[in-house]
A and B are shown apart, each in its own frame.
Chain A
Amino acid sequence: MNKKLLSGPYLMWMIGFILIPLALIVFYGLTDKSGAFTLSNVLSISTEEHAKALWLSLGLSLLSTVLCLVLAYPLAMILRTRGMGQGSFIVFIFILPMWMNFLLRTLAWQTLLEKNGVINGILSALHLPNQGLINTPGAIILGMVYNFLPFMVLPIYNVLMKIDDNVVNAARDLGANSLQVLIRILLPLSIPGIVSGITMVFVPALTTFVISNILGGSKILLIGNVIEQEFTKGSNWNLGSGLSLVLMIFILISMALIAKYDKNGEGTVL
């Protein structure tokens, strides 16, 4: 029996439900309602409304990615120095929220941040003035960091755990201090994990419409919201597809980065 035949169903499935659908986005994005070729859908990213949404998305998602990295790296380092192996319960605690329903996690922050929410309740109990926390860019960043932090922790932790202790010890024997070990040894060796973590946080943060919808109210529009509305409310699929094509440029850049820095898939979650 030819083993290659076994890939038949898979190939047909992937062509039908991955490649053709993507081709359709390209087709819709580059045509107008009558089916004639046009670049106007893609170029409409430069209109004030869309450009503002894109810049805001880029800004918020970059900031969230940096925050995740800054929070996650020390965490992964501590887990490593404590010698917590893959099966350790402590590591499990940091990964667990990742498996909790994404919407419920965001809903939780809405409960905390709302005008009559838990945080403002605590503030007024302490006779402190209430804060306008919800419907701000800050609330969106908080939601992004909270939702995607485990996606940064896991790949960095995986890569750090693979670094041989002897490499670190050798550097120490040769006179390196902790900072030098970090900069010269651990950071360069953990780049696959860092890059993988960055893309795993950046891509969903850049394209989200859920977090901005729940924590940002209806006034803060991210590029994800604009696209979602074109498909569910506005029903201008051509425009929505054109804007998706613009988004895909950023996704492709991320994919290229992964391919360059994480060749062996060291930083992947699986």
Chain B
Amino acid sequence: MINRKTAFIKRFFQDFYLVLIVVFLYAPIATMTVLSFNNSKSRTQWGGFTTRWYTELFSSSTIMDALYTTLLIAFVSSLIAVIIGTAAAIAINSMKPFPRSLLMGITNIPMLNADIVTGISLMLAFIAFGISLGFKTILIAHITFNIPYVILSVMPKLKQTDKSTYEAAMDLGATSVSAFFKVVFPDILPGVLSGFLLAFTMSLDDFIITHFTKGAGINTLSTLIYSEVRRGIKPSMYALSTIIFLTVLVLLLITNFAPKRKK
């Protein structure tokens, strides 16, 4: 009897704690969602339901331009990072322990280093190389911090693949390129895809490195939000936040809970 009671109390406190953390994590996001539909500009008064902040958001060419830049950079940088990163992972996987750990060490630098240092160092380099800051430099910076995520996603899959299937394909007369694309690539494809998605999200979310490498006259969503925040928050930012949250929610639900093919 006592045991059941303590188990019940224990469970109650555990649930209570989980709920408390969920409230802490989601209250700010929920507040912004509510405010995005508030007809009054005040944050404390409900002025009735409206969707005008959403209309304002979609008719603002600055925000739409920034959105376009953000998505374009995220897509192109992840794509290039996937190509360079996958090739590198294959090479690193076939290396001897010393060069392998050396290369993995370099790979870890941008992941462990502080973003502000990475951002500053890239800015200094672009100026030293004579590349003017703008779209190009943001793209290069994003590719740079995306490559490690691709390598770290592809590596475990490469380790799982059986070397002999590749060799068998070669023995049966396949060229190394076709053996790779017909035998190895299907095996590592899940890692390549998750590397792409991870890189894409990292690029979408980045502010600090973009802030230092963007130059004047170009904005991603993050840098635009930053400059808006300093001028005082407009309700259209709440609308933007709600849309981004829903997009992230849907994307993650699909990637996490989509029915997986069983082997």
Contact = CB atoms under 8 A, between A and B. Distances in A.
B43 to A, nearest CB: 6
A108 B31 contact: yes
Contact of B124 (A101, A227, A237, A270): A237
A103 B91 contact: no
B29 A108 contact: yes
A227 B116 contact: yes
Contact of B113 (A82, A124, A251): A251
A75 B18 contact: yes
B112 A100 contact: no
Contacts, number: 226
Interface string A166-181: 0000000000000000
Given A13-B144, A17-B140, A112-B31, A199 B225 contact: no
Contacts of A232: 212
Interface string B61-103: 0000000000000000000000011011011101100000001
B207 interface: yes
A25 B124 contact: yes
A97 B26 contact: yes
12 contacts: A18-B106, A18-B144, A21-B124, A25-B120, A90-B18, A92-B252, A112-B31, A117-B43, A208-B116, A231-B123, A247-B117, A270-B152
Secondary structure of the B contact surface, majority rule: helix
B237 interface: yes
Contact of A93 (B22, B27, B103, B229): B22
Contact of A102 (B42, B205, B229): B205
Interface residues on A, range: 35 or more
Interface of A: 1, 3-7, 9-11, 13-14, 16-22, 24-25, 28, 71, 74-75, 78, 81-82, 87, 89-90, 92-94, 96-97, 99-105, 107-112, 114, 116-118, 120-122, 124-125, 146, 149-150, 199, 203-204, 206-210, 213-214, 224, 227-228, 231-232, 237, 240-241, 244, 247-248, 251, 254-255, 258, 268, 270
Nearest to A86: B256
Nearest to A109: B28
Secondary structure of the A contact surface, majority rule: helix
Given A107-B237, A199-B112, A203-B114, A100 B222 contact: no
Interface residues on B, range: 35 or more
Contact of B94 (A3, A81, A207): A3
Contacts of A19: 106
B116 A108 contact: no
Interface in B216-257: 221-222, 225-226, 229-230, 233, 237-238, 240-241, 244-245, 248-249, 252, 256-257
A120 B44 CA distance: 8
Interface string B1-35: 00000000000001001100110111111011001
B88 A10 contact: yes
B232 to A, nearest CB: 10
Nearest to B150: A10
A87 B257 contact: yes
A270 B153 contact: yes
